[in-house]
Amino acid sequence: MNVLGIESSCDETAASVVADGKVVLSSVVESQIDLHAIYGGVVPEIASRSHLESINPVIDQALDQAFHVKNGISSREVWDQIDAIAVTHGPGLSGSLLIGTLAARTLAWLHDKPLIGVNHVTAHAYVNWLGNDQPKFPALALIVSGGHTQMVLFKDHFKYQLLGQTRDDAIGEAFDKVAKMLGFSYPGGPSVARAAKNGDAKKYQFPKARMENRYDFSFSGLKTAVLRTLQSEIGEGHSFPSHQLSERLSKAQKDNVAASFQYIAVKTVVDAVERAVEQYNPVSFIIGGGVAANQELREQLQQRIPLEISYPSLELCTDNAVMIATLGFYQSGLHEDVVTPHTLSIKPSLAM
């Protein structure tokens, strides 16, 4: 069964064809990073305009790649090989979600294909079901991205328990905000990780939030602690503007703050994973989302979690449509998840 996946929830326009939820036939990701970098974060208006320009070419390219389209093959013959269309309908930016879902609805109607609305966050976990070596249940999943930080226990497909989630900023968002204070380029995760390599992670003791639910997270206090430390490092008070900090900081100060911040942000999630492994005794542990690319996270998990961890490749950690097609394949077996092109609506605040 070939599923065409479409993703446009934030700042990547992506399309992919996946066979049987296992084999990637194509994956095209058009990133808007350069468009947003000068603003230091995603600008929703710019994102939706860019999705609008890219969505059709990206889908065409994914179909061409998947079926090695050569001159002479009709669009009809290509579409005959697609069995269903899966699209991210939430959570995400409204304007961005609209472009992907409208494209998917139009194509499903035009080519008479089943249509499936997919949860972007669940899909970050499902990328781990690609290939032949699939996670066994119960599987503990850690989803760490720019928009989400959550821990989920999958007892079976579609039978899961949300153990905890962030109460304020997502971990990736905290990386992005700290990067901005340090004057690093967007997206901040990779820049902070690079600087941290040269820094001393023990130089500053940033606080770790204590939560009522032992699996919940909070990163906004950590972000404020970093801001206060930077202000006092340059001898200024709390009112000193964060966008003027970086020019007054030395490279060593930036590297040390990056390393100390990264250490505690990562430790926060690894502590929670360790507790969940002890309490729920999962057979497998899976990870997804952009922050799963972080090397410090991988090292701390390896040292402390007594389970084999399989990491998605770097391009499958960050936003992509392979994960949407993969989850779409599993949802295609659920009658209630297959919707008509007339009824699929966006769900910007969709929870797991």
Q: Rule CB under 5 A: which residues touch Zn ion?
A: 145, 319
Q: Please report the DSSP string for 90-106 in residue order.
A: ESS-HHHHHHHHHHHHH
Can you tell me whether residue 161 is helix, strand or coil? strand
User: In sequence order, what are the residues at sequence separation of 6 or more whose Cβ sits closer than 8 angstroms to the Cβ of residue 252?
Assistant: 199
Q: How many CA atoms lie within 13 A of 37 on its CB side?
A: 12
Asked if residue 282 binds ligand KG4 (CB under 6 A), the reply is no
CB of 224 to Zn ion, least distance (A): 25
Using an 8 Å Cβ cutoff, are 160 and 225 in contact? no
C-alpha to C-alpha distance for 285 and 305, rounded to whole angstroms? 9
Between 135 and 187, CB nearer to ligand KG4? 187
Q: Pick what 175 binds: ligand KG4, Zn ion, none; C-beta below 5 to 8 Å, kind-dependent.
A: ligand KG4
Tell me whether residue 147 or residue 164 sits nearer to ligand KG4 (CB atom).
Answer: 147
* Candidates 196-204, 287-295, 329-337, 343-351; binding stretch for ligand KG4 (CB under 6 A): 287-295
- 41 contacts ligand KG4 (rule: CB under 6 A): no
Cβ pair 178, 146 in contact under 8 A? no
Considering beta carbons, is residue 191 or 256 the nearer one to ligand KG4? 191
Binding-site size for ligand KG4 (CB under 6 A) equals 20
Among ligand KG4, Zn ion, none, residue 190 binds (CB under 5-8 Å by kind): ligand KG4
Query: Nearest 5 degrees, angle CA 190-CA 172-CA 226?
Result: 85
Angle, alpha carbons 257-261-267 (nearest 5°): 150
Of these partners, Zn ion, ligand KG4, none, which one is at the site of residue 176 (CB under 5 to 8 Å by kind)?
Answer: ligand KG4
Q: Establish if 319 lies at the interface with ligand KG4 (CB under 6 A).
A: yes
| 172 touches ligand KG4 by CB under 6 A | yes
Per-residue binding string, ligand KG4, 121-160, x by CB under 6 A, is: ------------------------xxx-------------
Question: Residue 20: helix, strand or coil by DSSP?
Answer: coil
Q: Which helix (H) or strand (E) holds 193?
A: helix 188-196
Phi-psi region of 330 (alpha: psi -120 to 50; beta: other; left: phi over 0): alpha
Torsion angles phi and psi, residue 203, rounded to 5: -65, -40
CA dihedral 115, 121, 127, 133 (to 10 degrees): -110
Contact positions with ligand KG4 (CB under 6 A) in 11-30: none
Question: Of the ranges 43-51, 290-298, 327-335, 341-349, which one interacts with ligand KG4 (CB under 6 A)?
Answer: 290-298
Pick out residues in 175-204 that bind ligand KG4 (CB under 6 A): 175-176, 187-190, 193
The binding site for ligand KG4 (CB under 6 A) comprises: 10, 145-147, 172-173, 175-176, 187-190, 193, 289-291, 293-294, 318-319
